[in-house]
């Protein structure tokens, strides 16, 4: 097969392994979208992170013999999965690669919020010595609610088991998923009991999942963590919930405005709700790196090679 890499591979294994199997890999990460549309006629498959949308137009630019899209990473919200299926194009992704990294980042964010690590660090650097104002809360005494119990939710639950906290998991599309690491629970019940809430759901069908009604349904003030997708959270409603102390603090790796804004605008030109999050001492903000580690990159490469081989070996 001839395979186009539309994003840079952060680990050489996938290209090397495909080449050893007799496939040809061309690196087209420098091409603009119009040039990619022209070039695709030559290919049987492509590898992409999230540089370009794999939409109807791009799929239509692929030849009849085109076989697969390999998403180096997890989220497939930029891929028209339905249209790919109609065209009998297989789509692979590689959650095996980054699930450990995301779970560790999630745990790091929880511990930062509960122990005021971001704020305390900034204060010491700024010459302030605040001890009483930075008293922490033990994770072991809290109830953590995971929303979405797929790859990332389950991996996070495993790591939480070492902390002694109660772990609840709500998943709308799974049944009988409770396990030794998390109790299966309805959203309603989770909202009654959780102190810490971590989002691990996909974006499709969940735009502004966390909105005013959702925040208001929690019985207790919560700590919120989002390492899933920025558009799951209505940022304006999050700010209102923080001002009302319904959200005590929030750690966000993904941001509602990241796609449109971060690339094209300076930070101070981003919408006001994001400015609030920047100013607040009760937030931890990271630039969509929860799934990024050297180990994850190697894991993506291995997982995608195994999936491509399993699907097409000898065919």
Ligand X SMILES: O=C(O)[C@H](O)COP(=O)(O)O
Query: Active-site residue numbers?
Result: 229, 258, 288
Residue of 98, 156, 191, 198 interacting with ligand NAD (CB under 6 A):
98
Q: Select from 26-34, 135-143, 188-196, 227-235 the region that touches ligand NAD (CB under 6 A).
A: 227-235
Shortest Cβ contact with ligand X: which residue? 73
Residue of 80, 237, 253, 297 interacting with ligand NAD (CB under 6 A):
253
Residue 198: φ, ψ to 5°: -125, 130
Report if residue 98 touches ligand X, rule: CB under 6 A: yes
First and final C-alpha spacing in the chain: 10
The residue among 175, 149, 179 whose CA lies nearest residue 161 is 179
- For the chain, percent helix, then strand, then coil, each to nearest 5? 45, 15, 40
Report if residue 291 touches ligand X, rule: CB under 6 A: yes
Residue of 173, 186, 217, 272 interacting with ligand NAD (CB under 6 A):
173
Residue 233: beta bridge partners?
Answer: 210
Q: Select from 20-28, 67-75, 103-111, 204-212 the region that touches ligand X (CB under 6 A).
A: 67-75
d(CA 201, CA 230): 11
Q: Which long-range contacts (CB under 8 A, 24 or more apart) does 170-179 make?
A: 170/145, 170/146, 171/147, 172/201, 174/149, 174/150, 177/149, 179/154
Cβ pair 194, 218 in contact under 8 A: yes
In the bound state with ligand X, the residue whose beta carbon lies nearer, of 76 and 234, is 76
Partner from ligand NAD, ligand X, none binding residue 200, C-beta < 5-8 Å depending on class: ligand NAD
Q: CB of 205: closest distance to ligand X in angstroms?
A: 17
Report if residue 178 touches ligand NAD, rule: CB under 6 A: no
Q: How far is CA 212 from CA 87, 146, 228, 240, in A?
A: 40, 19, 19, 8
The count of residues interacting with ligand NAD (CB under 6 A) is 31
Residue 90: beta bridge partners?
Answer: 68
Residue of 144, 190, 201, 251 interacting with ligand NAD (CB under 6 A):
201
d(CA 50, CA 291): 13
Partner from ligand NAD, ligand X, none binding residue 226, C-beta < 5-8 Å depending on class: none
Report if residue 170 touches ligand NAD, rule: CB under 6 A: yes
Q: Select from 25-33, 70-78, 165-173, 270-278 the region that touches ligand X (CB under 6 A).
A: 70-78
Length of the chain: 315
In the bound state with ligand NAD, the residue whose beta carbon lies nearer, of 100 and 116, is 100
In the bound state with ligand X, the residue whose beta carbon lies nearer, of 195 and 297, is 297
For 93, which DSSP code? -
Residue 2: beta bridge partners?
Answer: 24
Residue of 100, 229, 246, 307 interacting with ligand NAD (CB under 6 A):
229
Q: Residue holding tokens 């001890």?
A: 131
Which residues in this chain contact ligand NAD in the complex, by CB under 6 A? Answer: 74-75, 95, 98, 102, 147-153, 170-174, 200-203, 206, 209, 227-229, 253-254, 288, 290-291
Which residues in this chain contact ligand X in the complex, by CB under 6 A? Answer: 49-50, 73-75, 98, 291
């Amino acid at each position: 097969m001839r395979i186009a890499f539309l994003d840079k591979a952060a680990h050489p294994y996938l290209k090397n392994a495909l080449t050893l199997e007799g496939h040809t890999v061309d690196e087209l990460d420098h091409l603009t979208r119009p040039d990619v549309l022209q070039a695709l006629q030559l290919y049987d498959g492509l590898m992409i992170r999230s540089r370009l949308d794999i939409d109807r137009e791009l799929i239509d630019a692929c030849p009849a013999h085109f076989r697969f899209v390999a998403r180096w990473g997890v989220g497939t919200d930029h891929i028209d999965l339905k249209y790919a299926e109609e065209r009998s194009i297989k789509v692979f992704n590689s959650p095996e690669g980054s699930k450990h990294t995301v779970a560790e980042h999630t745990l790091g964010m929880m511990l930062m919020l509960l122990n005021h690590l971001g704020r305390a660090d900034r204060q010491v650097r700024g010459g302030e010595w605040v001890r009483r104002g930075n008293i922490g809360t033990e994770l072991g005494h809290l109830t953590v609610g995971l929303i979405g119990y797929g790859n990332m939710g389950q991996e996070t639950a495993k790591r939480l088991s070492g902390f002694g906290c109660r772990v609840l998991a709500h998943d709308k599309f799974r049944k009988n998923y409770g396990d030794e690491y998390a109790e299966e629970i309805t959203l309603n019940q989770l909202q009654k009991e959780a102190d810490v809430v971590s989002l691990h759901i996909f974006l499709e069908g969940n735009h502004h999942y966390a909105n005013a009604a959702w925040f208001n349904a929690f019985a207790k003030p919560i700590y919120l963590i989002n390492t899933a997708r920025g558009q799951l959270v209505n940022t304006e409603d999050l700010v209102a919930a923080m001002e009302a102390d319904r959200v005590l603090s929030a750690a966000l790796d993904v941001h509602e405005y990241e796609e449109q804004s971060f690339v094209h605008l300076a930070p101070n030109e981003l919408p006001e709700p994001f400015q609030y999050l920047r100013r607040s001492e009760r937030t931890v903000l990271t630039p969509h790196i929860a799934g990024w580690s050297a180990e994850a990159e190697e894991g993506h490469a291995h997982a995608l090679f195994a999936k491509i081989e399993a699907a097409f070996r000898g065919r």
